[in-house]
Amino acid sequence: MKYVLPNLSTFNQRGSIENRSRIAEEICDKHNRISFQMVEIPADFVKNQSEVSKTCLPLGSMLTTEYVGKIYDSEDGISKPYCLHTEPGIPRRVARTSITSKLRWFDQSWIDSFHNHVLSIIEFIGKPPTAIEVHPGTQQKKMNNLGSLIFGLKSFMIRLEDSIDCMPEIFIENRTPHIISSGYSIKTFRDELLSIDSNDGLPIGIILDIQQLYSKTKERFVEEIRTIPHDIIKGFHIHQLHRTPVSEGTIDWSVVREFIHSGKYKSKLHILPEVHHMNQLIETYSFCTDFLGFKNADDR
């Protein structure tokens, strides 16, 4: 079991691993039941006015080596492993300009640019991530589908491994408007992945966001979460509208707890308490350990 320190709104969004690691250790020192083994580092495309001004790139642009150092803090001493959280394809707005980046896993030129974007950030940081979180994207006239996603990810992974001489785990987050959003689409993705790579050799899996799944399925939530094969899951995002979950709230968290403990996983789970504010982080961590039964590090 690995707990990941989330990207809190109070952090410098392009801040260093060193600073996040220091904060994680301070939390651990203050709360002896809490331990974070990894930190989350954003790797979005250019996403706000400050980044537009610093890079002179349009909103929604991917980064290259020339621009990464203009918005990221330099690393003086890296400590904890990190997960690189890439562009989620959500609406961005600057003044009168609004854009939602399209994740084009069917487009080799886009994949090449995405690889360069990710690689430029990794090279600036100075060490490879333990995991890279990606997002499936919307259909885009059905060109972006589960098959193209799998082949697009394989192409990206081949290039990345050649570039950094190792292969981080690839986490795919389910998102409400994207092609992987429901329990059924997760199961279909898993089945297609196994049909293409029958020896199950790819380090690809789902990081299951419970709130996103509920937002998509609503009254079908219980039925759909039970369709998800445990062997495709690499971890969970735990939050309720980015706040601490309530056990008897809109989401039936007892069903989530039942699902969590009803199957076997192929790798250690990564748990991210995905709240936005520090004052809810400790409560959400405790909800994960005490109510959901995600024990402290290395218990699973």
The per-residue pLDDT for range 175-196, each reduced to its tens digit, is 999 999 999 999 999 999 998 8
Helix (H), strand (E) at residue 38 = strand 38-43
Write down the residue that tokens 């890439």 correspond to: 86
Q: What is the pLDDT of residues 227-275, one digit of tens each?
A: 999 999 999 999 999 999 998 889 999 999 999 999 999 889 999 999 9
pLDDT at 248: 84
Q: Is the pLDDT of residue 79 over 90?
A: no
Q: Is the pLDDT of residue 299 over 50?
A: no
Question: How large is the average pLDDT for residues 89-100?
Answer: 92
Give residue 37's pLDDT band: very low, low, confident or very high (50, 70, 90): very high
Tell me how far apart the alpha carbons of residues 169 and 233 are, in angstroms, rounded to a whole number.
12
Q: Is the pLDDT of residue 3 over 50?
A: yes
CATH of domain 2-291: 3.20.20.150
The torsion angle over the Cα atoms of residues 171, 3, 265 and 184, rounded to 10 degrees, is: -50
Q: Is the pLDDT of residue 213 over 60?
A: yes
pLDDT at 92: 95
Q: Is the pLDDT of residue 153 over 70?
A: yes
Q: What does the block give as tokens for 11?
A: 């952090």
Q: Is the pLDDT of residue 298 over 80?
A: no
Q: Is the pLDDT of residue 16 over 60?
A: yes
pLDDT at 90: 95
Residue 131 has, within 13 A of its CA and on its CB side, a CA count of 29
DSSP 9: T
Q: Where are the strands (E) in the chain, listed by range?
A: 2-5, 38-43, 82-86, 91-94, 97-100, 131-134, 169-173, 204-209, 233-238, 270-273
Q: Is the pLDDT of residue 28 over 60?
A: yes
Question: How large is the average pLDDT for residues 94-109?
Answer: 94
Q: Is the pLDDT of residue 76 over 90?
A: no
Report which of 117, 170, 181 is spatially closest to residue 144, judged by C-alpha positions: 181
Question: How large is the average pLDDT for residues 125-131?
Answer: 96
Question: How large is the average pLDDT for residues 53-75?
Answer: 96
Helix (H), strand (E) at residue 71 = helix 65-71
Q: Which residue has the higher pLDDT, 197 or 17?
A: 17
